[in-house]
Structure 1
Amino acid sequence: MKKIIFFAFFAITFGTVSSQVIYEEFNSKKLDETRKLKIQLPRNYDTNTDKKYPIVLVLDADYLFEPVAGNVDYFSYWEDMPEAIVVGVMQSGSRYKDGEYDDRSYMPIDKGASFFEFIGLELIPYIDENYRTAKFIIGVGHDFTANFLNYYLFKDPPLLNGYINLSPDLAPMMEERLVQRIPQIPEKLFYYLATGTEDIKGLQESTESLNNQLNGIESETFNYYYDNFENATHYSLVGRGIPNALEKIFSVYRPISKAEFSEVLLNKNTQVYQYLVDKYQIIKDLFGLDIPIRINDFIAVGTAAEKQNQWEAVEKLAKLAKKQYPDNVLGDYYLGRFYESQGDYRKAIRIYRSGFGKQDADFITQELLLDLADDLSARD
């Protein structure tokens, strides 16, 4: 009986914190057939009713969906990327027809052209209409379907913002076309390419050739990443490429790291407050996400500002913290630190004490603020 009760409790608890996977059948007019979809919604999607999420589109979802969805869930749990809606298209038995291209133009034809329109004109609009989506889409494909993703770069504007190409089986002329097309795209673009030393020889050689050409592209909007994994086969490189791609594409989204703190924030030329504001504006502009500044980022920037005696930045940080976290001690701490630096101890004491009864922020606690106030009282 105890085992049954424990299992039931575990199932209920796990269900409230894990991502939801929905299985749907989509009746496509473009394909004139029904396609099976897998859709993973973020944790607490149903309760965060005002939140919007980027889309990660997964082709070859028969075997790629789970590794992509698992990595998205893991990275977003630790805030290394935003939570996202993962949409997988099942292609067992149809992938080669779906990616069919003309023997002369090497562009989608027949079923390939229909599949191209299915994704852009039916599937993505359907996801946008039925789920809360942000205007940022990443596509993931492997060999034949990785090549197919590249066709969306020739739309104006491109359908996808990010492309994860895992050992692409490139159509003829694709290399030349990408090199010509990418510099013409004004929008911000993220492009990840991967192969392995034990990859299929022809695919490895063409991927390395494409990498050499993409490396030469000069464009402020083109963000390019490449991996050639040691001892990775055509299939094992997928498991290594997916997390690398997500980590690199969403690097700006991550909380401020130790390296970022020491190499950027402690640089004497960095105006730390503006750096923080700009970081979150970039997140908003790139991913369509207007998120509150993380408490850890407040603390990192506040610590750097104090170390560099940027006390005006500390004051601005305090006002921003009070606005975003009014029930938190963060704003009181930094405003108190600012007045303390100016020698206005009485005002600093009053502000520190005003933090009593508010929520703690990491190591910045009510007790710390009261101790600071007592120390200043003894000095005053």
Structure 2
Amino acid sequence: MKIFLTLVFGLCISACTFNNQTITLPQATQAYDHLPALQGDYFKIKSTYVGREFHINVRLPEGYQATDAKTYPVVYVLDGDSLFPLLAPTHLFLHYDEKLPEAILVGISYGSFDPVINKRNTDFSAPAADSVLGEDGAPRFLDFLKKELIPKIENQFLANAAKRVLVGQSRAGYFVLWSALEDPDLFWGRIASNPALTPGRARFFEAAARHTKKDLKLVIASGTRDTEQRQRNATEWGTTWSSRVDAPWAVKPIRLEGGTHAATIGEIYRRAMLWLFEAEIATGKAP
């Protein structure tokens, strides 16, 4: 056994060295120059409100030129660690096939799925009597979006401030709905996929904060293969707010037959974006 281990160790050392030089593995990069559908920009931003750093990936439209007078809708994608590389090319294909207007996509990421680093449960949960201790950071995360990230994006890119969209699923879907009540005007469109409604369930059926915009839209979606509780969440919230005269937004419930909790987010994004931009799509398809 000792001889065997010695041989294995020697082979490992030999494989990693040549002429007394150690082979250094390439470091991970945030450059997407070799992936055209993800081309754009990347930067880190340290939030003074949240007290942590975020990784921000920006996908720019095809033909984007910083000197153009044209501006683009901006889609802010929560859980960008996984959803940004999925939804960015999805948006491009929707532009090709469905005439969906091109957009700037902004992926808001933690850089890891490790709970030590990834604080989505904290950032996407609001203070409530039934909150888990320490998981109540939604107000601070909302300040980060409103006062730090959005101004930076709109100062740096050709962003249409009147056409901001926020996308989130599950716990991030909770934040999408909560933020819609707390600051309706901040985003023109919102997509909440299979959202949770706890902690603080009662807040989701209380009146929204003051708003001034008249064209706001919100999609709440659920998959028939998600848990019964999450399906009830979407049905109850969508039905309630679709009929309320004090709703700040037009509400579009989507029930995706065969849809799962997470894996069908691409199809939910497709249906939601086609509804959000139906007027622009109709104009684009006109002769």
TM superposition score category, shorter chain reference: 0.7 to 0.9
How many residues in Structure 1 have an aligned counterpart in Structure 2?
Answer: 246
Which residue of 2 is the match for residue 166 of structure 1?
193
Distance 1:177 1:200, change over 3 A: closer
Q: Look at both structures and tell me which one has the larger radius of gyration over its CA atoms.
A: 1
Q: How far did 1:251 drift?
A: 0.6
Q: How far did 1:109 drift?
A: 7.3
Q: Calculate the TM-score normalised by the size of structure 1.
A: 0.58
Which residue of 2 is the match for residue 88 of structure 1?
107
Candidates 161, 164, 170, aligned match of 1:143: 170
Q: How does 1:266-285 map to 2 (within 5 A)?
A: none
More helix by share: 1
Decide whether the 8 Å contact of 1:179 with 1:213 is kept in 2.
no
Return the letter of the residue paired with 1:148. F
Cα deviation per residue 1:247-274 (whole Å; 9 max; x = unaligned)? Answer: 1111100145xxxxxxxxxxxxxxxxxx
Candidates 220, 229, 242, aligned match of 2:269: 242
- Matches of 2:181 and 2:258 in 1, distance apart? 34
Cα deviation per residue 1:28-81 (whole Å; 9 max; x = unaligned)? Answer: 222223211111011111276221111100001111112321222222335622
SS of equivalent to 2:94: helix
Alignment of 1:213 with 2:240, yes or no, is yes
Cα deviation per residue 1:209-258 (whole Å; 9 max; x = unaligned)? Answer: 112212312479732211212222212331321100011111100145xx
Which residue of 2 is the match for residue 153 of structure 1?
180
Alignment of 1:114 with 2:114, yes or no, is no
Return the letter of the residue paired with 1:61. G
Decide whether the 8 Å contact of 1:61 with 1:88 is kept in 2.
yes
Q: How far did 1:138 drift?
A: 0.4
Decide whether the 8 Å contact of 1:19 with 1:43 is kept in 2.
no
- Matches of 1:177 and 1:110 in 2, distance apart? 15
Q: Which ranges in structure 2 are unaligned for 5 or more consecutive residues?
A: 1-32
- Matches of 1:183 and 1:121 in 2, distance apart? 18
Which residue of 2 is the match for residue 372 of structure 1?
none
Return the letter of the residue paired with 2:96. Y
Q: Calculate the TM-score normalised by the size of structure 2.
A: 0.75
- Matches of 1:97 and 1:220 in 2, distance apart? 27
Candidates 220, 226, 229, aligned match of 2:253: 226
Return the letter of the residue paired with 1:189. L
Q: How far did 1:86 drift?
A: 0.4
Decide whether the 8 Å contact of 2:226 with 2:260 is kept in 1.
yes
Decide whether the 8 Å contact of 1:19 with 1:73 is kept in 2.
no
Q: How far did 1:97 drift?
A: 1.6
Which residue of 1 is the match for residue 46 of structure 2?
27
Cα deviation per residue 1:87-120 (whole Å; 9 max; x = unaligned)? Answer: 01113321112123223397x9754332221111
Bigger RCO (CA 8 Å, 6+ sep): 2
Q: How far did 1:206 drift?
A: 1.5
Q: How does 1:253-268 map to 2 (within 5 A)?
A: 253-255=280-282
Candidates 144, 154, 160, aligned match of 1:134: 160
Which residue of 1 is the match for residue 29 of structure 2?
none
After superposition, the CA RMSD in angstroms is: 3.0
